[in-house]
Amino acid sequence: QKRGDFYDFMDKEIRDRHRRKKIEHATYMCHRASLNKIKQFKPSCSFAELTPKMLENFQAWMKAKLGNRPATTSKTLKDIRTYENLAILDKNMIDNPFKVLKVRNVEVIKEVLTIAQVGQLLALYDNPELQANWRCVLQHFLFSCFTGLRISDIQRIQAKHIIDGALVFNAH
């Protein structure tokens, strides 16, 4: 193992990948959140300290102290694994702690709104007493409900995507 700080490496790589448009802004924010979360668990971490045992302890800490669910802990570990793999490619690390610690894909059971709940949201949207900022948030949420588009796709939509009254758009 080379000497050096994994967090500094991860921080630099997150910023660099975002600057080079390798990752979208939403991904950038998620990766920054994962970095901040592991720093909260362990304020500093050399490449040598990034071991399966440390990552197992981090996983347990996210569950016990933060109340994170399996899908959240899995996503955080996958983010860290991305930068650990880059560290290996850059020859900062030799051992891959994720060879021992397997990160599982967690099936998430999504709750869907009932027609009555959507009706309540539409009524709330039409309420003249609803604050403008809440109306804007609700508008985006309802648009997502009716189109099935993700937030990241909705953020990319422009007027040019509406052709003859229809939304013509390639979602990611």
Interval 92-107: pLDDT, tens: 888 899 988 888 887 7
For 28-46, the DSSP string reads HHHHHHHHHHHHHHSS--B
| Cα 58 from Cα 38, distance rounded (Å) | 7
pLDDT of 60? 96
Q: What is the mean pLDDT of residues 21-45?
A: 95
Say what the pTM is: 0.72
pLDDT at position 1 is 43
Angle 12-16-18 (CA atoms, 0-180°, nearest 5)?
120
Q: Scanning the structure block, which residue is given the tokens 């052709």?
A: 163
Residue 3 has pLDDT above 70, yes or no: no
Mean pLDDT of the chain: 91
CB of 137 closer than 8 Å to CB of 9? no
Across 62-66, 85-89, 103-107, 113-117, least confident range: 103-107
CA distances to 9, 32, 84, 171 from 92, in Å: 9, 20, 9, 36
The mean per-residue pLDDT over the stretch 113-142 comes to 95
- Count CB-CB contacts under 10 A for residue 141: 15
pLDDT tens digit sequence for 68-77:
999 999 999 9
Q: Which amino acid is at 150?
A: R
Six-digit token pair at 88?
């290996």
SS3 118: helix
Q: Which two tokens mark 33? A: 């959140």
> Which amino acid is residue 146, in one-letter code?
F
The predicted model gives 78-94 an average pLDDT of 93
